[in-house]
Structure formats: structure tokens, C-alpha cells
Chain A
Amino acid sequence: MKETKIKTRDLSLYYGAKMALNSITMDIPEKEVTAFIGPSGCGKSTFLRTLNRMNDLIPGVRITGEVLVDSLNIYDKQIDVVNLRKKVGMVFQKSNPFAKSIFENVAYGPRINGINNKTKLEEIVESSLKKAFIWEEVKDRMNDSAMALSGGQQQRMCIARTLAVEPEIILMDEPASALDPISTAKIEELIHELKKSYTIVIVTHNMQQAARVSDLTAFFYLGELIEYGKTRKIFTTPDKKHTEEYITGRFG
């Protein structure tokens, strides 16, 4: 087992009075792919968004317990959320390119970090697009609008945009759910490649996808972490009956 990158301790989350996550404790290892699965509304996306504090943006959300990234509690008052989000990047379900050129999309994060040198920016943009397996497709049209890309290309460009900030952890919220099978395959191939350098946490609705890309799988149900372990074990001999029923498609 590799080093633990993210730890949660008794993490609960409430929307107003309603409890959405119930006392979740788990360790997520470094440079592996951890998949969150479970039926809609089970809290897996909500849980993912607690890891870079995206839930802060939603009014009425209250959190108890701890989330430790590299042993630092990210809900501590001294933590700078902006720096946290640079370290913990996020790729969303729906690709969300800015209404800017491909170059400016990828350069967005570095620019915010104060990099304005054109050569330096070009270097970062190129290497990020290469890491996201999309450089060859876009290198001759860097100044075209990112909106003109296909859905799959947009999503890979969004991944490149996240990589340009040089995060250590990448959270992916159903990154391929809106894509065709070929684009999905490309994203999955990319995830395999990225886990060499990054810790990846992915929420997915697609059980086969979880089985294909992840090293560890966590099954959530009604805001609780039901079972968590090696992906192979979860998909072949789960300990809990609930997990088995979900995986074999008896509910979900």
C-alpha cells in the first residue's frame, strides 16, 4: 500500500438540517486511482467536493469532522482555500471551457498564479495539452475558441487546464458520463497515464469504468460509506450484501 494522501475522519455534511454525509472515515492513497460508486443521491459527488472545499460555495452547507490532505486539515481556519484548490484540482461532469481560445483556457490557471511571460506560458500550455493527450489535435488551432472543440476534446482540454496548475490531486466528477464510447476510452487511457504522477479520485456511475480504471473502490449508499477496498475485491467478493447487490445490478 502506498502512502496516504487524503484522510477523512468522521466527516459529516449537512444541507441545512438534512444530513447528506454520515461520518465518513477513509484513507485515499497517493498516486492511485480511487473510484467512488453508488446510486444517484448517495453522496459520492458531495463527498468528492468536500475534498477541495467546493461545497463552500453552496449556502447552508455545514461540515463536521476532518479532511486531511498531506496531514493538514483543510477545514482549518488557517488554510487558504485558493492554495488548496491549486493543489487539489477538479474536472467536472460537464466539460466547462471558458469562452476563450484553447490557449487562454489552459493558460488561465498559470496566469492567475502570476505567470505572464509568453514563452513560459506557451511551455506550460504545450506540456499540459500533451499530458492530456490532446496536443496533436489542437496544436495548429491554439487561438480558436475552445467552444469549437468536440465534447470529448473539450473534456480533455479541461483536464489539461487542471494540469496546468500543477496539482497533486485530481478530483474527477463523472468526467466521461456525457461522452461517447471512443472519447470515454480516451479519458480512461488518460487516467491510467496520469496516475503515475497524480493522486486521482473519480466519481463514476459506470461500474465497468470503475472496474477498468481504479485501484480502489468505495461504495456509498444514502450518505454512508458502505464498503471500501481493492477494486478487484469489491467487484468479485464484496463483504457487504448491499455492495454485491449494487454491483450485480439488483438496484441502483
Chain B
Amino acid sequence: MSRQKTITGGLFVGVTAFSAFLIIAVIIILLVVIINGGKDTFSWEFLTSFPEDGMMKGGIFPAIFGTVLLVLIMSVAAVPFGTITAIYLTEYAHEKSVLAQTIRFAVRTLATVPSIIFGLFGLGFFIKFVGTGIDDVFLGGQLKWGQPNILWASLTMALLTLPVVIVSVEEAIRTVPRELREASLALGATKWETIKRIVIPGSRSGIMTGTILAVSRGAGEVAPILFTGAAYYLATLPTSLSDQFMNLGYHIYIMATQSANVDQTLPIQFATTMVLLLLTFTLNLAAVIIRSRLRRNAK
């Protein structure tokens, strides 16, 4: 009996250890393969130059530039909007009110919608509805905004990352102690003054975490920008919001599926993957560090 228990127990430990090992192994294999395949191509030159020869040579600078620009414009849209929503939910809405519950439900749902649906929504709403509308009303039907560009792609991505921002900021706002709000109100501050001077400054690191997580998500997603602004290849960098742009994730997809010579582009593809992984990994790490600091302060 007792021996059998020992065997069962030992077996269980083995299974759990194996599962844990498997996860680590997957990550290690992934990294080894990618770094091994990309390390010879990866260089300063690679990061700073344009693709050449039908993307079979040269660097990925436009894709890096496009990705950075995309997440910047996305943040400008998603962070203030998400922060304001989070403030409404935590400070003004009654926890049990229909409106607050509807918003929370919408945020949760938004977070589970497949990203390609956001892409389709962006195409339908931003490009076909808003963009074409602007063209018709202000430009007499001349095609300018009614086609994919970096603005529509960024706004589409902003919708996708909005829940991340809202949840992070909400969490941060809740860590601002009630005592501080009371102190402010007892000094004759209005609710808005208290939010502006105490709650928002106290939630700064949460707003930061939310932004970084959103940026990291936005940098890695491809589906939302597929129809809304990402370009296969551009000889110049985008200079206006109505320009299309190149993107790291999309670049990997293009090189994997559309290349004239897959063997020749493979090292470039690995190196691009390395850059993208490095970017999202660094951003996530920063978010984790800031968040853990925030949690420690809350105690």
C-alpha cells in the first residue's frame, strides 16, 4: 500500500517535472533555432539599411521604423482613451450599475475577439466608412483617406490593445489608498481635483505598464494591419499619416510566403524574427519590472 503510494507519488512528480521541462525546452529550441539562423545576418548594417534585390539582400530599417511609428500612433490613441475609461469605471461608475457592467463586459469581449476580426473591422469602419467619407465630403471623392494607411492601421491596433490599457490602469487606480483620497477630500478638494492631483499621479506606473504591454502587443500583431495599412515593400519611409508602412511581423510573413528564393531570404527572415522577439521581450520585461514595483508599493 505504502509502496504503491510512493510509486504513484513519484510518477506524479515525474510527470509534472516533465511538463515543466517541456515548456522550457520549447523556448530554448525556439531561441536556439532563431539565433542560429539569424546571427550571421544580424548587424548594425542590417538594422539601419533598406531591403535590396527584391528583399533578398539588405536590411529591415523601414520595417523597424514602420513598427515603431505604428505603436507610437497607437499609444497616442489608446493610452488616453483607455485611461479615461479606467478612471470612469473605478471612480465614477457605480460598481453594480448597468452601464459599468456593460463597459466591463465590452472590455472583456474586446480582449477575446480574434485579431483578424479587428483587421476586418478596421477595413470596414476606418477605411470604407470614415476614410471614404472624408474623401467624399472634403476632397470631392479624390482617393486619399479611403485606402489603407498608417493612421487607420494604428487606430485599428489601438482598439485591439485598449483592453490591456484599461485593465492595467484600473488595477493601478485601485492601489491608490482610500486614505489619500479621504485626505484630499477632507482638505476641500473636489472629486475631480482629487483624481487629477492624487489618483492619476499615484497610478502613473500602472499607466506606464499598460502602455508598454499595449506597445508590446501592438508590435507583435500582424492581422489587424493586414488590410488596414501594412505594405509589402516600400522604397521610402512613410512621411504622412495617409502613407502606408512596412512592419516587422508582416515582413516575416511576406518573406516566408512571397519570396522568390526562400533559401536566400531565410537568414534575413531569422534575423528579422530575432529583432521582433528582442523588441517584444524587452518591452514585456520592462512591464513586469514596473508592475512588480507597483505591487510592492501597494503593500
Contact = CB atoms under 8 A, between A and B. Distances in A.
Contacts of B187: 85-86, 89, 108-109, 112, 161-162, 165
Given A54-B185, A59-B94, A112 B180 contact: no
B284 interface: no
Interface in B181-231: 181-190, 193, 197-198, 201-202
Contact of A112 (B181, B193, B202): B193
B114 interface: no
Interface stretch (A94-102, A116-124, A131-139, A229-237): A94-102
Contacts of A96: 177, 179-180, 182-183
A57 B186 contact: no
Interface in A35-86: 52, 54, 57, 59, 82-83, 85-86
Given A99-B201, A99-B202, A108-B197, A92 B189 contact: no
Contacts of A109: 187-189
B184 to A, nearest CB: 7
A60 to B, nearest CB: 11
Interface residues of B, number: 19
Contact of A162 (B180, B182, B186): B186
Contacts of A33: none
Given A59-B94, A99-B201, A108-B197, A86 B179 contact: no
A59 B202 CA distance: 23
A208 interface: no
Contacts of A90: 182, 186
A108 B202 CA distance: 15
Contacts of B186: 52, 54, 85, 89-90, 92, 162
A34 to B, nearest CB: 18
A112 B183 contact: no
Contacts of B182: 54, 57, 90, 92, 96
B184 A108 contact: yes
A82 B179 contact: no
What is the interface residue range for chain A against chain B?
Answer: 20 to 34
A96 B177 CA distance: 9
B180 A98 contact: yes
B282 to A, nearest CB: 28
Contacts of A210: none
Residue with the highest number of chain B CB atoms closer than 10 Å, among A54, A59, A98: A98
A85 B201 contact: no
A83 B185 CA distance: 11
A200 interface: no
A73 B272 CA distance: 71
Q: Among the interface residues A52, A94, A112, A158, which one has the most CB atoms of the partner chain B within 10 A?
A: A112
A20 to B, nearest CB: 18
Contacts of B188: 82-83, 85-86, 109, 112-113, 165
A52 B187 CA distance: 11
B183 A98 contact: yes
Contacts of A112: 187-189, 193, 197
Interface of A: 52, 54, 57, 59, 82-83, 85-86, 89-90, 92, 94, 96, 98-99, 108-109, 112-113, 158, 161-162, 165
28 contacts: A54-B186, A57-B181, A57-B182, A82-B189, A85-B186, A85-B187, A86-B187, A89-B186, A90-B182, A90-B186, A92-B182, A92-B183, A92-B186, A96-B177, A96-B182, A96-B183, A98-B180, A98-B184, A98-B198, A108-B189, A108-B197, A109-B187, A109-B189, A112-B189, A113-B188, A162-B186, A162-B187, A165-B187
Given A86-B188, A162-B187, A165-B188, 16 more contacts: A54-B186, A57-B185, A59-B94, A82-B190, A86-B187, A90-B186, A92-B179, A92-B183, A92-B186, A99-B201, A108-B184, A108-B189, A112-B189, A158-B183, A162-B186, A165-B187
Sort A-B residue pairs by CB-CB distance and give the 7 closest, nearest first: A86-B188, A96-B179, A90-B186, A109-B187, A96-B183, A85-B188, A112-B189
